[in-house]
Structure 1
Protein backbone atom coordinates (compact mmCIF):
# COMPACT_ATOMS: atom_id res chain seq x y z
CA UNK A 1 0.00 0.00 0.00
CA UNK A 2 1.31 3.45 -0.78
CA UNK A 3 0.61 6.94 0.43
CA UNK A 4 0.71 9.97 -1.81
CA UNK A 5 2.53 13.23 -1.37
CA UNK A 6 -0.81 15.01 -1.06
CA UNK A 7 -1.89 12.67 1.75
CA UNK A 8 1.34 13.35 3.64
CA UNK A 9 0.90 17.10 3.26
CA UNK A 10 -2.73 16.86 4.39
CA UNK A 11 -1.88 14.78 7.48
CA UNK A 12 1.00 17.12 8.33
CA UNK A 13 -1.36 20.09 8.10
CA UNK A 14 -3.97 18.40 10.30
CA UNK A 15 -1.33 17.37 12.85
CA UNK A 16 0.24 20.84 12.74
CA UNK A 17 3.61 19.33 11.81
CA UNK A 18 5.97 21.18 9.49
CA UNK A 19 7.35 18.82 6.86
CA UNK A 20 10.04 20.01 4.47
CA UNK A 21 9.81 19.06 0.80
CA UNK A 22 13.08 17.13 1.17
CA UNK A 23 11.53 14.90 3.85
CA UNK A 24 8.46 13.87 1.87
CA UNK A 25 10.08 11.11 -0.27
CA UNK A 26 11.46 9.39 2.84
CA UNK A 27 8.10 9.75 4.60
CA UNK A 28 6.31 8.28 1.57
CA UNK A 29 8.56 5.23 1.74
CA UNK A 30 8.38 4.79 5.53
CA UNK A 31 4.64 5.34 5.82
CA UNK A 32 4.05 3.07 2.82
CA UNK A 33 5.99 0.30 4.58
CA UNK A 34 3.97 0.81 7.77
CA UNK A 35 0.67 0.70 5.87
CA UNK A 36 1.79 -2.46 4.06
CA UNK A 37 2.57 -4.11 7.40
CA UNK A 38 -0.81 -3.08 8.79
CA UNK A 39 -2.46 -4.55 5.70
CA UNK A 40 -0.63 -7.85 6.24
CA UNK A 41 -1.73 -7.93 9.88
CA UNK A 42 -5.32 -7.18 8.92
CA UNK A 43 -5.27 -10.05 6.43
CA UNK A 44 -4.22 -12.61 9.07
CA UNK A 45 -6.90 -15.18 9.90
CA UNK A 46 -7.70 -14.86 13.61
CA UNK A 47 -11.08 -16.57 13.70
CA UNK A 48 -9.96 -19.59 15.76
CA UNK A 49 -7.45 -17.76 17.96
CA UNK A 50 -8.37 -17.32 21.62
CA UNK A 51 -7.39 -14.01 23.19
CA UNK A 52 -4.40 -14.33 25.51
CA UNK A 53 -5.44 -11.58 27.92
CA UNK A 54 -8.06 -8.93 28.30
CA UNK A 55 -7.96 -5.91 30.61
CA UNK A 56 -11.56 -6.42 31.71
CA UNK A 57 -10.73 -9.89 33.04
CA UNK A 58 -8.43 -8.41 35.68
CA UNK A 59 -9.61 -8.31 39.26
CA UNK A 60 -8.13 -5.79 41.63
CA UNK A 61 -7.62 -6.48 45.27
CA UNK A 62 -9.33 -3.69 47.14
CA UNK A 63 -8.42 -2.52 50.60
CA UNK A 64 -11.14 -1.92 53.15
CA UNK A 65 -12.63 1.57 53.04
CA UNK A 66 -11.71 2.74 56.51
CA UNK A 67 -10.07 5.84 57.97
CA UNK A 68 -6.36 5.27 58.50
CA UNK A 69 -5.24 8.79 59.53
CA UNK A 70 -6.32 10.97 62.38
CA UNK A 71 -8.00 14.33 61.82
CA UNK A 72 -5.24 16.98 61.92
CA UNK A 73 -7.31 19.89 60.66
CA UNK A 74 -6.79 22.03 63.76
CA UNK A 75 -3.03 21.49 63.72
CA UNK A 76 -2.77 22.41 60.04
CA UNK A 77 -4.95 25.47 60.40
CA UNK A 78 -2.99 26.63 63.43
CA UNK A 79 0.11 27.09 61.23
CA UNK A 80 -1.78 28.62 58.29
CA UNK A 81 -1.35 32.38 57.72
CA UNK A 82 -5.12 33.06 57.73
CA UNK A 83 -8.23 30.98 58.38
CA UNK A 84 -11.89 31.73 59.02
CA UNK A 85 -14.68 29.33 59.98
CA UNK A 86 -12.48 26.33 59.24
CA UNK A 87 -11.47 27.57 55.77
CA UNK A 88 -8.08 28.76 54.51
CA UNK A 89 -8.04 32.40 53.38
CA UNK A 90 -5.94 33.25 50.33
CA UNK A 91 -5.24 36.54 48.56
CA UNK A 92 -7.73 37.56 45.87
CA UNK A 93 -6.19 36.97 42.43
CA UNK A 94 -9.16 37.80 40.15
CA UNK A 95 -10.95 41.11 40.24
Structure 2
Protein backbone atom coordinates (compact mmCIF):
# COMPACT_ATOMS: atom_id res chain seq x y z
CA UNK A 1 0.00 0.00 0.00
CA UNK A 2 1.45 3.35 -1.03
CA UNK A 3 1.04 6.20 1.40
CA UNK A 4 2.21 9.66 0.52
CA UNK A 5 4.79 11.17 2.85
CA UNK A 6 2.64 14.21 3.68
CA UNK A 7 -0.35 12.03 4.60
CA UNK A 8 1.83 9.81 6.76
CA UNK A 9 3.29 12.87 8.52
CA UNK A 10 -0.22 14.18 9.10
CA UNK A 11 -1.36 10.85 10.53
CA UNK A 12 1.67 10.56 12.82
CA UNK A 13 1.41 14.16 14.02
CA UNK A 14 -2.29 13.67 14.72
CA UNK A 15 -1.68 10.50 16.70
CA UNK A 16 1.06 12.22 18.71
CA UNK A 17 -1.30 15.10 19.39
CA UNK A 18 -4.03 12.70 20.55
CA UNK A 19 -1.62 10.85 22.82
CA UNK A 20 -0.44 14.15 24.27
CA UNK A 21 -4.05 15.12 24.98
CA UNK A 22 -4.63 11.79 26.67
CA UNK A 23 -1.40 11.49 28.66
CA UNK A 24 0.27 14.84 29.22
CA UNK A 25 -0.49 17.44 31.85
CA UNK A 26 0.95 20.26 29.75
CA UNK A 27 -0.39 19.92 26.22
CA UNK A 28 1.73 21.11 23.28
CA UNK A 29 -0.09 23.55 21.03
CA UNK A 30 -1.41 22.19 17.75
CA UNK A 31 0.70 24.75 15.86
CA UNK A 32 3.82 23.06 17.24
CA UNK A 33 2.98 19.94 15.25
CA UNK A 34 2.44 22.01 12.11
CA UNK A 35 5.78 23.74 12.67
CA UNK A 36 7.71 20.48 13.23
CA UNK A 37 6.32 19.12 9.97
CA UNK A 38 7.54 22.23 8.13
CA UNK A 39 3.95 23.35 7.47
CA UNK A 40 3.21 20.38 5.22
CA UNK A 41 -0.33 20.44 6.68
CA UNK A 42 -2.55 22.86 8.60
CA UNK A 43 -4.27 22.89 11.98
CA UNK A 44 -7.53 22.10 10.21
CA UNK A 45 -5.89 19.07 8.59
CA UNK A 46 -4.91 17.78 12.02
CA UNK A 47 -8.42 18.31 13.37
CA UNK A 48 -9.94 16.54 10.36
CA UNK A 49 -7.53 13.62 10.75
CA UNK A 50 -8.30 13.55 14.48
CA UNK A 51 -11.95 12.89 13.65
CA UNK A 52 -10.94 10.12 11.24
CA UNK A 53 -8.71 8.46 13.83
CA UNK A 54 -11.43 8.60 16.48
CA UNK A 55 -13.93 7.10 14.06
CA UNK A 56 -11.45 4.36 13.10
CA UNK A 57 -11.05 3.30 16.75
CA UNK A 58 -14.75 3.80 17.55
CA UNK A 59 -13.83 6.55 20.03
CA UNK A 60 -12.19 3.92 22.27
CA UNK A 61 -8.99 5.37 23.69
CA UNK A 62 -8.71 2.62 26.27
CA UNK A 63 -7.44 2.79 29.82
CA UNK A 64 -4.35 1.23 31.35
CA UNK A 65 -4.67 -0.11 34.86
CA UNK A 66 -1.69 -0.04 37.23
CA UNK A 67 -1.49 -3.84 37.13
CA UNK A 68 -0.63 -3.60 33.43
CA UNK A 69 2.51 -1.61 34.21
CA UNK A 70 3.49 -4.00 36.97
CA UNK A 71 3.22 -6.90 34.56
CA UNK A 72 5.48 -5.03 32.13
CA UNK A 73 8.06 -4.37 34.85
CA UNK A 74 8.06 -7.85 36.34
CA UNK A 75 11.39 -8.57 34.69
CA UNK A 76 13.02 -5.65 36.51
CA UNK A 77 11.83 -6.55 39.99
CA UNK A 78 13.55 -9.30 41.96
CA UNK A 79 11.49 -12.47 41.66
CA UNK A 80 10.91 -12.63 45.42
CA UNK A 81 9.32 -9.15 45.40
CA UNK A 82 7.18 -9.63 42.32
CA UNK A 83 4.61 -11.99 43.84
CA UNK A 84 4.00 -9.71 46.82
CA UNK A 85 3.78 -6.55 44.66
CA UNK A 86 1.44 -8.29 42.22
CA UNK A 87 -0.88 -9.47 44.98
CA UNK A 88 -0.93 -6.10 46.74
CA UNK A 89 -1.68 -4.28 43.48
CA UNK A 90 -5.04 -6.02 43.25
CA UNK A 91 -6.38 -4.21 46.32
Greater Rg by CA: 1
* TM-score bracket, shorter-length normalisation: under 0.3
Higher strand share: 1
Instruction: Output the TM-score relative to the length of structure 2.
Output: 0.25
Structure with larger RCO (C-alpha < 8 A, sep 6+): 2
